[in-house]
Amino acid sequence: MIDILSKRYLYFLFSLFVIVPGLILLAVDGLPLSIDFTGGSLFEVTFAEGKGLDTESIISIYEEAGIDDAQVTTTETGSVQIRSSFLTNEARDEILTAMQEATGEPVTVISFDSVGPTIGAQVASRAALAVGVAALGVVIYITLAFRKVQNAFRYGVCAIIAMVHDVAVVFSIAGIGARYFDWQMDALFLTALLTVIGFSVQDKVVVFDRIRENANLLRRLEYETLVNHSIVQTLQRSINTQLMTVEFLLLSLALFGGITLQEFAVILLVGLLSGTYSSIFVAAPILVLWEKREWTTWFGRGANA
């Protein structure tokens, strides 16, 4: 039988290797929140061929309209996106007119989205509340579902720790994407994050449920052997249902879904991979670590006692 749990500290180290760099980037650069959370306006336009305005000219037009925080980026399709604080319709029309006068040609509006600062703050606070309620619900549900197993509360706590691991992986990927690909945390990011949380819990319940079944059938097995045996039994299911179906579908979406869905697909792809990984290599090993109280032997404390 494959011995998975004997290398559990290597799995923890690998998780840190994935998580820490991205979180450091987020700490240095700050959360790349979109206007969905901060409030503001996103104005996307295209200019007639050969009549485009440079970044300084666009920023100057915004400043003349009383907006001094415009950020200009050019998309792969050649359009120009301008992010700024909240624009009224009148301010937008004034800026559009100034652009047309500066270029001498009509300017095509691709999109114009505005979110008020109050709505943005509400979205952020409700997202945090949703994650907190979901975490509490997971602990309560798993504790009740596993109430006939010794130390049922541990299963819920380990599921939450693994869920936090998956959330950290998602934020790490978002931090790396923000630094190198100008990704932003928007409503789609929140959708992907909540999907990853839901999947993460579901996958851990499957592994824990197998441990619960085997705990009744194989009572004489040592706990670590029992958990390792249960993980091996669920490996095939995890590979078949996650890697062979969902992950390939998301990979196709990331490669061929276009730039609009690319960030969403990549975050979801990595997040679901992390969910499968943490079920096997994080949640279950922590159960064993907790059962054996291994922290008492860290740094040689057990040997000296």
Tell me the two tokens of residue 74: 């050019």
Average pLDDT of span 244-266 = 78
User: How far is Cα 169 from Cα 234, in angstroms, rounded to an integer?
Assistant: 23
User: How far is Cα 118 from Cα 291, in angstroms, rounded to an integer?
Assistant: 47
User: How far is Cα 263 from Cα 125, in angstroms, rounded to an integer?
Assistant: 23
- Detail the DSSP E strand segments found in the chain: 40-46, 71-74, 80-84, 108-115
pLDDT, averaged across the chain = 84
Window from 10-19, 64-73, 171-180 with minimum mean pLDDT = 64-73
pLDDT, one tens digit per residue, over 80-121 is 888 888 888 888 889 989 998 888 888 888 888 877 666 666
State yes or no: pLDDT of 305 exceeds 60: no
Average pLDDT of span 279-301 = 85
Helices (H) and strands (E) in the chain, counts: 12, 4
